[in-house]
Amino acid sequence: MTNPHKGRTGVDRVVRATGYSMQGLRAAYRHESAFRQEFWLAVVMLPFSLWVGRTWVETALLGGSVLLVLIVELLNTAVEAAIDRISFEVHDLSKRAKDIGSAAVLLALLLCAGVWAAALWQRWLV
């Protein structure tokens, strides 16, 4: 049996995929306070990365680390939504999946903080 949602090709597929992605961003923003907080930090930090970064590599690392936090938060939100769709019952596997998703967000945040701390240190203290 073929998936009826996979028959799209070309520009139609790209347009629809973009629409679904925008719906996902809106849903995360609407329903996930952590994503909203990280989104608004990104609105400030991404332009600031253009000023802090001295080379295109530094700028890419600064901006990329911020975007990585948003990406991991979106994936964590998706995992949580899928688990909650199955059941709100407390279960060891559900807890493990949610905790692992949360740990991934923490690591992305630590990476971002480390990259920014190193760049700021290099810019003003060295």
Specify whether the CB–CB gap between 52 and 62 falls below 8 A.
yes
Q: Point out the least confidently predicted range of 7-21, 40-54, 86-100.
A: 7-21
Catalytically active residues are 73
End-to-end CA distance of the chain: give it in Å, rounded.
Answer: 63
Q: What is the pLDDT of residue 71?
A: 98
DSSP letters along 20-36, please?
A: HHHHHHHHHHHH-HHHH
User: Which of these, 103, 56, 46, 48, lies nearest to 79 by C-alpha position?
Assistant: 103
How does pLDDT run across 94-122, given as a tens digit for each residue?
A: 999 999 999 999 999 999 999 999 999 99
Per-residue pLDDT, 125: 85
State both tokens at 42. Answer: 């990104």
**pLDDT tens per residue across span 49-94:** 999 999 999 999 999 999 999 999 999 999 999 999 999 889 999 9
Give the span between the Cα atoms of 111 and 105, in whole angstroms.
10
